[in-house]
Chains A and B, each alone.
Chain A
Amino acid sequence: MTSVLPDRGIRRSSSPSAPGFGMAPNALLLALSTGGALVLLLWWHDTPATLHTFGDWLTNAGRITGLLAGYVIIVLLLLMARVPSLERGLGADRLARWHAMGGRYAISLAVAHTLLIIWGYAVSAHESVIPQTGALLTQYPDVMMATVALGLLILVAGVSMRVARAHMRYETWYYLHFYTYLAVALSFSHEFSTGLDFSASQSARVLWSLLYISIAALLFWYRFVVPIRAAARHRMVVAGVFPEAPGIFSVHVTGHHLDDLRAEPGQFFRWRFLSSGSWWQSHPYSLSAPPTDRLLRITVKVLGDHSHALRTLHKGTRVFAEGPYGALTERRRTRRQVLLLAGGIGVTPLRALFETLSARPGDLTLIYRASSELDVVFRRELDAIAQWRGARVVYLVGPPGGDADPFIGRRLASIVPDLVAHDIYLCGPPRMMDAAHSALHRVGVRRRQIHTESFEF
Chain B
Amino acid sequence: MRRFVSVLLATVAGLVVLLSFKTTPAKAPRPVALSGTTPSASSTAPDSSTPVGSAATSSAPDSSVPASSPQPSSASPTSAAVTASSGPSSAKTSPTATKSAAKPTPKPTAKPTPKPTPKPSSTTKTVTGSVVTVSEGRRVFGVVQVRLTLTNGKITAATAIQFPQNDGHSLDLSNYSIPKLSREVLSAQSASIDAVSSATYTSEAYAQSVQAALDAAKA
Residues of A within 8 A of B (CB): 40, 43-44, 46-53, 55-57, 59-61, 64-65, 68, 101, 104-105, 108-109, 121, 124-127, 135-136, 139-141, 194, 196, 199-201
Contact = CB atoms under 8 A, between A and B. Distances in A.
Contacts of A52: 23-27
A125 B175 contact: yes
B173 A124 contact: yes
B13 interface: no
B7 A105 contact: yes
A48 B136 contact: yes
Q: Which bucket holds chain B's interface residue count?
A: 35 or more
Given A53-B26, A125-B176, A46 B138 contact: yes
14 contacts: A44-B22, A47-B22, A52-B25, A61-B15, A101-B7, A105-B4, A105-B11, A125-B169, A126-B176, A140-B168, A194-B167, A194-B168, A194-B169, A201-B138
A124 B11 CA distance: 24
Nearest to A55: B198
Given A48-B22, A124-B173, A139-B76, 10 more contacts: A47-B137, A49-B24, A50-B22, A53-B197, A61-B19, A65-B15, A121-B172, A139-B171, A140-B167, A196-B169
A121 B137 contact: no
B9 to A, nearest CB: 11
Interface of B: 3-4, 7-8, 11, 15, 18-19, 21-27, 39, 74-76, 136-140, 166-169, 171-173, 175-176, 197-198, 200
Contacts of A46: 137-139
Nearest to A50: B24
Among B76, B139, B168, B171, find the residue whose CB has the most chain A CB atoms closer than 10 A.
B168
Contacts of A68: 11
Given A50-B200, A52-B27, A105-B7, A196 B139 contact: yes
Given A46-B138, A105-B4, A51 B197 contact: no
Contacts of A194: 167-169
Contacts of B24: 49-52
Nearest to B141: A196
Contact of A200 (B11, B75, B138, B176): B138
B32 to A, nearest CB: 13
Nearest to B170: A196
A225 B24 CA distance: 53
Contact of A104 (B4, B27, B140, B175): B4
B23 A51 contact: yes
Given A200-B138, A200-B140, A51 B173 contact: no
B136 A135 contact: no
B138 A196 contact: no
Among A57, A61, A125, A201, find the residue whose CB has the most chain B CB atoms closer than 10 A.
A125
A56 B167 contact: no
Contacts of A199: 166-167
Nearest to A195: B167
Given A46-B137, A199-B167, A57 B7 contact: no
B4 A60 contact: no
B198 A50 contact: no
Contacts of A139: 74-76, 168, 171
A112 to B, nearest CB: 9
B201 to A, nearest CB: 9
A456 to B, nearest CB: 16
A49 B21 contact: yes
A194 B74 CA distance: 16
Nearest to A100: B4
Contacts of A121: 169, 172
Among A48, A53, A136, find the residue whose CB has the most chain B CB atoms closer than 10 A.
A48
B22 A49 contact: yes
